[in-house]
Chains A and B, each alone.
Chain A
Amino acid sequence: RKEVEQDPGPFNVPEGATVAFNCTYSNSASQSFFWYRQDCRKEPKLLMSVYSSGNEDGRFTAQLNRASQYISLLIRDSKLSDSATYLCVVNPRTGGFKTIFGAGTRLFVKA
């Protein structure tokens, strides 16, 4: 089993749609969780951290479910500019700062 797993997609949605991604992780001791966004042929950029209490940033909501060992990202009112690959990132906290990136979920938002 991979340490971090994501549905690769692609997700094809119309503008204005709500779309949700899930990511599962295998190490129950993991402490830090993030969502990154990567545009085609660009470097990943932090989208948001994921806190135990859940957090929201505009149209984006991230949640953590420790019992089931998954994190989620919800995008409301999708924009064309949201088209990208969304990477789930987990820090297992087994001795330092090593982080594990999921393979990413591709999102295409269409007009």
Chain B
Amino acid sequence: GAGVSQSPSNKVTEKGKDVELRCDPISGHTALYWYRQSLGQGLEFLIYFQGNSAPDKSGLPSDRFSAERTGGSVSTLTIQRTQQEDSAVYLCASSLEMVSYEQYFGPGTRLTVT
């Protein structure tokens, strides 16, 4: 079946602009995660959504970052007033609830802020 998809695959933006990154999880997966990975670094947890529960936003680095998940499926990560330090690969993952915590990742969006 279809895996996790993300769009765009690459995004170059100017400092100060807003960007939106999209994630389509695997159908039937109720948990959705966003991570950030800077070059040569590990994954940094940003936010997760679980069904209809309130999302865990504890990993968002600043109030310029926000995320939504509509209808329990597609999610959008928005970064306002982008800064050069926001440049990274943004990874989305999804997993089944109550079955396992194994996460399936999308290919990521490579964000470059110039």
Interface size class of A (residues with CB under 8 A): 20 to 34
Is B12 interfacial (CB 8 A cutoff)?
Answer: no
Q: Check A97 against B50 for contact (C-beta < 8 Å).
A: yes
Is A109 interfacial (CB 8 A cutoff)?
Answer: no
Tally of contact residues, B, Cβ under 8 A: 24
The stretch of B13-21, B61-69, B75-83, B100-108 that contacts the partner chain: B100-108
Q: Which residues of the other chain, B, contact A49 by a CB distance below 8 angstroms?
A: 100, 102
Q: Check A99 against B101 for contact (C-beta < 8 Å).
A: yes
Is A96 interfacial (CB 8 A cutoff)?
Answer: yes
The total of interchain contacts (Cβ-Cβ below 8 angstroms) comes to 51
**What is the CA–CA distance of A103 and B48 in the complex, to the nearest angstrom?**
19
Given contacts A87-B43, A101-B45, A102-B42, contact A46 B104 (CB under 8 A): yes
Q: Check A96 against B100 for contact (C-beta < 8 Å).
A: no
Given contacts A100-B45, A101-B43, contact A44 B50 (CB under 8 A): no
Most buried by A among B43, B50, B58, B107: B43
8 closest pairs, A vs B, by CB?
A103-B42, A43-B105, A101-B43, A32-B101, A97-B31, A91-B101, A46-B102, A44-B105
